[in-house]
Structure 1
Amino acid sequence: MASINHLAEEMIFQILSWLPVLSLFQCKLVCRSWNSIISSPNFIQAHLAISQKKQHPFSTLRVVLRSDESQDFFMDTLGENSVKLSLPRYISDVPQLLIGSCNGLVTLGTGVKLYIWNPLIRMGKLLPRAHYLHLEIVNKIGFGFDSLSSDYKILRVVFGRFSDLFDGEEEEGIVAELYSFNAESWKSIQVPKEMQGLKLDPMSKCVCVDSRVLCVRGTDGILSFDLHDEVFKMHKYPASGKIISEVLDFEGSIALILRSGDQWASVLTVWALDEVDGNLLWAEKFNIIEPARKIAYVLIYIGDGKFVARDYSRAGFFYDMNKRTCVEFRRYISVVQFRGSLLSLQGFGRLE
């Protein structure tokens, strides 16, 4: 039987590009030729493009705070098994908030420091300090990729009382600033006057929808920010029902899950913003068939009727609506959807 090494390099390139990242680490050890292929920029981009189109076996990342105040970091399949990853030593010393994930990169923050990091290749960087110091405020941070300008961007929205680090003056209201990896700097973003009265939900996350739109829940509706146009928009909530989810990415649309009825006799409905004649309008998509343990809050919609949720005891679980199966995962302080990659950005260094 002929060795696989007798295949044309282009064929080997194509075969390897369909493998998950952890398998590629093992393939790099096979021979110098394979290591060279997998390490090339063309392969990394091709692998990322394929990964974005297929259902990756690893679906979430979560941070778990241990009793000694240190942290564990897990990459989870759809409830089948978990892979424990190592946080860099000087990051793990301080409890981190897992802010967001995009193309295999994650953002971690303490409120003072922000890191961007690829946990699979253990490369990353510490970002420059943002302008506004938060004082008794709601601090929302979102992370996404502006595909039109090929730029990774981080949005920080500050609501309440804050201080500008440069002039030291204290103010109240909503301010926003945007970090561009291409420019390697922060800049202020204008928040429209009509949105200044919006109060941000202190418990919700800033979620990236369809790669480039960042969304955060407020008192009257969803505040969205387009990473390319760099403008805010406001979307009123659907007319009825109690919101029991983060803002979700439903097949590229902004979505929410609303509960009608009481806890024990209720209906959970997925609502999404669809474009109709140039306008975004809420539309009912489907009802969720609940598991035996009642869903208290939905954290992530993975797709194909699969969710990451928590119950009334705040325990996390994967729920497959079609199979009606629930699989618990260990306690967590933060969880995000994740799709692994070999991607490294300019300025990245090894974080051990």
Structure 2
Amino acid sequence: MSASKLLKDIPDDIVSKILLPLSVNDLLRCKSVCKSWLSILSDPRFVKSQLAFSNETSDDRSCIAHTYTQGDDSDTTMSLVNLDSGQLVADLDFPFPQDEFPYMPPSLVCLVGSACGIVCVRCSYHSIFDIYLWNPAIKMSKLIPEGNIRGDEQRVVLGFGFNSIADDFKVVKLVSANNIFFAEVYSTHTNAWRNIEPGPSDFPTSENYDAYAKIFDVCVNGFLCTTGTNGMIAFDLDAEVFNCGIKLPVPEFNNFYHSTRIIEYNDSVAAIFWMSKYEDPAKMNLWSLDDEACLTGDGIQPSWTLRQNIDVNWKVDFVQGYFNNGDFLLQEYDNCYLYNPDNGEADLCTPGNEQARYFMNAFFHGQIFRYTKSLCKIAGFTKVHWTWNIDEDDSEDDS
């Protein structure tokens, strides 16, 4: 019996189970085996199953980061980083065509968020402010339409997340003009922006920023969250409504110098406070939100539980996030550390000199996001080809 005949005789559900554990790169190669495999791998049900399998079986230590080459700030790219080893797994190039912009300054690109293998990237050049949705694993992206709201670009806040209820990726844009706040949301289902009315009653004050745009702190369970002047701000990606002024807990070291950020903690919303005056050792408080029902804006009052009270033996400039094994990703000037408060151990995860690449977010906070490779596609995706950085995984087809 020929190999092709044998493949045809295997039921599709068995083929799906065989293919499911393979890496995304191997799955892309398998699309070329035969038409039936191409059909199976292109089926949205398989794409969902593959993503769910990856989320269940892989750790949360793979991240996407904006990086640059030491000594050459103009040599900048997006990279996959393994936090445990501090190794750069791969350079990913960019979501836009190679000749789209005349030059590549390090501040040109801002990572807005990452969900289900899709990365939201904002690209700025003079008066051009483009937003791309990008799947680096399959080297495809989409330039989304320009929004309806205009304003001072220094008073813009962006957020990106996935609405699992409707299987819809969304981009949220807030603009402040003369202390009046406007907002709009882009949906991949409609490929259009919609004005949010009423708009938010508060504006983000998060330290999560880039040279060209601030971004929401985190997206958890369908809610984009960040800090505002009057408490926490939440945006419900399904209902497309804001809830502002959500009362935050008071840190035990209530001090003028402390900083606040909303993060994900064990699959729920949490607030991390840290105080690090001058070069003094840092103190951190971690509080988890008891019930996310308060994020919907139905008048439910929030309650918080203090989870950890942490003393760190060095200055902390920024808290990037928390990982499910108990580590915090902390930033101190141009170094990133994985810190485990249980044993007090801190592992430097910034790539060493031998790799000559450093996290771009050293001075632009918030440019590291968890990332899981997937086969997810969005309507309107086109292939992105870069010729100056060809790696061993550049074997994907356009199917």
TM-score band, normalised by shorter chain: 0.7 to 0.9
- Rounded to whole Å, the distance in 2 between the matches of 1:325 and 1:202 is 23
Q: 2:265 is matched by which residue type in structure 1?
A: F
CA contact (8 A) 1:137 1:160 kept: no
Q: Within the alignment, does 1:346 sit opposite 2:362 as a pair?
A: no
1:148 alignment partner, SS class: coil
2:388 aligns to what?
none
- Rounded to whole Å, the distance in 2 between the matches of 1:86 and 1:268 is 36
Shift, 1:349, TM fit: 1.0
CA contact (8 A) 2:221 2:268 kept: no
Q: Within the alignment, does 1:48 sit opposite 2:51 as a pair?
A: yes
Shifted more, 49-58 versus 341-350: the winner is 49-58
TM-score normalised to structure 1 length: 0.82
Q: What does 1:157-168 align with in structure 2 at a 5 Å threshold?
A: 157-161=174-178
Shift, 1:7, TM fit: 7.8
Q: Could you list the per-position Cα deviations for residues 132-180 of structure 1 after superposition, in whole angstroms to 9, with x for gaps in the alignment?
A: 223264211111111222211110011245xxxxxxxxxx521101001
Q: Within the alignment, does 1:209 sit opposite 2:219 as a pair?
A: yes
| CA gap 1:199/1:320 in 2 versus in 1, 3 angstroms | closer
Q: Within the alignment, does 1:336 sit opposite 2:369 as a pair?
A: yes
2:119 alignment partner, SS class: strand
1:98 alignment partner, SS class: strand
Shift, 1:267, TM fit: 3.4
Q: What does 1:299-314 align with in structure 2 at a 5 Å threshold?
A: 299-311=320-332, 313-314=333-334
Shift, 1:109, TM fit: 0.5
Q: What does 1:267-306 align with in structure 2 at a 5 Å threshold?
A: 267-275=283-291, 279-288=301-310, 290=312, 293-306=314-327
Shift, 1:208, TM fit: 3.5
The one of 6, 19, 24 equivalent to 1:21 is 24
2:132 aligns to what?
115
Work out the number of aligned pairs and report it. 335
Q: Could you list the per-position Cα deviations for residues 297-340 of structure 1 after superposition, in whole angstroms to 9, with x for gaps in the alignment?
A: 211223221232211x2322333445624132223132212121
- Rounded to whole Å, the distance in 2 between the matches of 1:68 and 1:210 is 33
2:166 aligns to what?
149
The one of 317, 339, 351 equivalent to 1:319 is 339
CA contact (8 A) 1:63 1:98 kept: yes
2:79 alignment partner, SS class: strand
2:147 alignment partner, SS class: coil
Shift, 1:184, TM fit: 0.9
1:52 alignment partner, SS class: helix
| CA gap 1:347/1:328 in 2 versus in 1, 3 angstroms | same
1:110 alignment partner, SS class: strand
CA contact (8 A) 1:206 1:214 kept: yes
Q: What are structure 2's unaligned runs of at least 5 residues? A: 210-214, 294-299, 351-357, 362-366, 386-399
- Rounded to whole Å, the distance in 2 between the matches of 1:211 and 1:52 is 14
CA contact (8 A) 2:61 2:84 kept: no
Q: Within the alignment, does 1:79 sit opposite 2:84 as a pair?
A: yes
- Rounded to whole Å, the distance in 1 between the matches of 2:376 and 2:247 is 37
The one of 144, 147, 151 equivalent to 1:130 is 147
2:261 alignment partner, SS class: coil
Q: 1:220 is matched by which residue type in structure 2?
A: N
| CA gap 1:98/1:264 in 2 versus in 1, 3 angstroms | same
CA contact (8 A) 2:118 2:376 kept: yes
Q: What are structure 1's unaligned runs of at least 5 residues? A: 162-171
1:120 alignment partner, SS class: coil
What's the Cα RMSD here? 3.1
- Rounded to whole Å, the distance in 1 between the matches of 2:133 and 2:56 is 23
| More strand as a share of residues | 1
2:389 aligns to what?
none
| CA gap 1:129/1:136 in 2 versus in 1, 3 angstroms | closer
Q: What does 1:175-190 align with in structure 2 at a 5 Å threshold?
A: 175-190=182-197
- Rounded to whole Å, the distance in 1 between the matches of 2:46 and 2:204 is 45
- Rounded to whole Å, the distance in 2 between the matches of 1:121 and 1:192 is 36
| CA gap 1:137/1:191 in 2 versus in 1, 3 angstroms | farther
CA contact (8 A) 1:220 1:237 kept: no
TM-score normalised to structure 2 length: 0.73
